[in-house]
């Protein structure tokens, strides 16, 4: 039928979008690691050579809410155009639950808990919003219309269980790390201190480590569907270089910074 043909064409487009995300992630690594350029927000906003081209700055809470909320709003907007079989599949519901749980917190809770966050250039926030809009479509359309993640076999159930456990561990690490970072600042403070406790005892960017683990688990739960895998890979490509920049910044700023910490991967890197 015409509808079936449209779905097949959209599935091809969806796959192409996933590969575009992977290619974009590779480009981010080349620019940020090869070129030594850190994304111009937070502690790097004032020193970025192109900061003046990024527009006015906006409060951190507004920037985070504006950019991240598209990850929730776009999947919800897609619901009227969904495939009913997807909406009743336990596998689809689990993947959607992982994604929306993370981004509901990141969009509407985390911004209101920020203490002393540095204002963010509107240009950087707008680029992040564009990504979240794009990824909101890529993930939301996948588990609302384009693919039924069945649990018919033991392997299906094992992938979902293992991936869900990995996702949950990463989410808890991410939340705990955010809490540690938030506790470093008293109300009104804007400076930086050495984070301690939790995964920060092992890596300088424990919050990024947790997020990478989260979306790796999400990809495992999907049995490495290219749409989910693309998001996991992009997350690693986007946060990995920033983790290294953070690590080098800490080493330079604090003489007593723990020398046995790694940047992102415990005991390795």
Alpha helices in 109-153 (DSSP H): 110-113, 122-141
Which residue do the tokens 């080098």 mark? 248
Secondary structure element (H or E) that encloses residue 121, with its range: strand 120-121
| Choice between 116 and 56, residue whose per-residue pLDDT is larger | 56
Burial class (CB in 10 A: 0-12, 13-18, 19+), 56: exposed
Number of other CB atoms surrounding residue 196 within 10 Å:
10
**Whether residue 46 has pLDDT greater than 70:** no
pLDDT at residue 200, as a whole number:
98
Closest among 229, 137, 211 to 174, alpha carbons compared: 211
Q: pLDDT-based confidence at 246, cuts 50/70/90?
A: very high
Number of other CB atoms surrounding residue 194 within 10 Å:
14
User: Where is mean pLDDT largest: 1-15, 44-58, 60-74?
Assistant: 60-74
pLDDT at residue 1, as a whole number:
57
| Choice between 192 and 19, residue whose per-residue pLDDT is larger | 19
* Mean pLDDT, residues 158-179: 98
Which residue do the tokens 């992630």 mark? 25
Secondary structure element (H or E) that encloses residue 224, with its range: none
79-97 burial: b if 16+ Cβ within 10 Å, else e: eeebbeebeebebbebbbe
Q: What is the pTM of this model?
A: 0.94
Sequence-distant (6+) residues with CB within 8 A of 59 are 117, 119
pLDDT at residue 190, as a whole number:
74
Closest among 136, 145, 141 to 86, alpha carbons compared: 145
Measured distance CA(75)–CA(47) in Å, rounded: 36
Q: Report CA torsion sign: 195, 197, 200, 206.
A: negative
| Pair 226, 18: CB distance under 8 Å | yes
Q: pLDDT-based confidence at 236, cuts 50/70/90?
A: very high
pLDDT at residue 116, as a whole number:
78
Q: What are phi and psi of 57, to 5 degrees?
A: -95, 150
Q: pLDDT-based confidence at 139, cuts 50/70/90?
A: very high
Q: What are phi and psi of 171, to 5 degrees?
A: -65, -40
pLDDT at residue 257, as a whole number:
98
């Amino acid at each position: 039928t015409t509808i079936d043909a449209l779905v097949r064409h959209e599935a091809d487009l969806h796959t192409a979008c996933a590969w575009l995300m992977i290619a974009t992630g590779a480009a981010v690594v080349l620019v940020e690691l090869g070129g030594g350029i850190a994304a111009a927000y937070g502690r790097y906003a004032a020193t970025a050579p192109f900061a003046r081209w990024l527009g006015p700055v906006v409060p951190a809470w507004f920037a985070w809410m504006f950019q991240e909320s598209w990850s929730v709003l776009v999947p919800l907007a897609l619901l009227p155009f969904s495939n009913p079989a997807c909406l009743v599949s336990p596998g689809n519901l689990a993947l959607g639950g992982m994604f929306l749980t993370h981004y509901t917190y990141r969009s509407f809770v985390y911004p209101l808990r920020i203490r002393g966050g540095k204002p963010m250039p509107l240009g950087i926030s707008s680029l992040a919003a564009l990504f979240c809009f794009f990824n909101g479509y890529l993930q939301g359309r996948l588990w609302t219309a384009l693919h039924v993640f069945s649990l018919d076999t033991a392997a299906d159930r094992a992938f979902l269980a293992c991936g869900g456990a990995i996702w949950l561990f990463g989410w808890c690490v991410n939340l705990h790390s955010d809490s540690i970072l938030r506790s470093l600042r008293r109300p009104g403070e804007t400076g930086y201190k050495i984070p301690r406790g939790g995964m920060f005892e092992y890596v300088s960017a424990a919050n990024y480590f947790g997020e990478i683990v989260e979306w790796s688990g999400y990809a495992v739960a999907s049995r490495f569907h290219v749409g989910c895998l693309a998001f996991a890979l992009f997350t690693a490509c986007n946060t990995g270089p920033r983790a290294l920049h953070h690590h080098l910044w800490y080493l330079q700023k604090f003489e007593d910074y723990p020398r046995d910490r790694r940047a992102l991967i415990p005991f390795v890197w």
